[in-house]
Amino acid sequence: MARVQLKLPEKFLFATEIQVRVTDINYGGHLGNDTILSFLSEARMRFLAHYGLKELDMFGGGLVVADASIVYKTEAFHGETLRIEVTVADFNKYGCDFFYRVTEKTSGREVARAKTGNVFFDFQQRRLQLLPEPFRALFADGSAPI
């Protein structure tokens, strides 16, 4: 079976930390695979807030996740603090990809890498919306102000 390969961008624009709670641990004794996606969502919200943006109200629309890919590298355990780096790339007509690198803060070991494909969405009309030019302008060259 072929494994998913995910090449990350060289530069990340933002980082945040999330501590692994006991409720995040699965029956295998490590961070649950479903919880990583929740952590990525939280990191994306913090990333956008850092730039004064809200996922549900930005430039006349909002963002929705169209696809997700997660590559797990090592286990994470209760009490560890995860550093989640976030950036945006690969802009298209309707959105872009958010990339994430998840590492354990103390050791620096890579826990996971991920990508979510996000599209802009008009929640009132319930349909896709074109990528707003102000969003592209803020992030497209990879050098958004930090």
Q: What is the CATH number of the domain that holds 59?
A: 3.10.129.10
The alpha carbon dihedral of 135, 139, 145, 146 has a sign of: positive
Alpha-carbon span 63 to 58, nearest angstrom: 8
Rounded average pLDDT over 95-117 = 98
Task: Provide the domain count of the chain.
Answer: 1
Local confidence band at 142 (pLDDT 50, 70, 90 cut-offs): low
Residues 6+ apart with CB under 8 A from 55: 44, 45, 48, 62, 63
pLDDT reading at 6 higher than 80: yes
Domain annotation covers residue 102: yes
Local confidence band at 2 (pLDDT 50, 70, 90 cut-offs): confident
Percent of the chain's residues with pLDDT above 70: 97
The pLDDT score that the predictor gives to residue 100 is 98
Local confidence band at 1 (pLDDT 50, 70, 90 cut-offs): confident
Domain annotation covers residue 7: no
The pLDDT score that the predictor gives to residue 86 is 98
Range of the domain at 39: 14-139
The pLDDT score that the predictor gives to residue 23 is 97
Rounded average pLDDT over 92-103 = 97
The pLDDT score that the predictor gives to residue 141 is 73
Domain annotation covers residue 105: yes
pTM of the model: 0.94
Domain annotation covers residue 3: no
Alpha-carbon span 140 to 120, nearest angstrom: 15
Rounded average pLDDT over 122-143 = 90
Rounded average pLDDT over 35-57 = 96
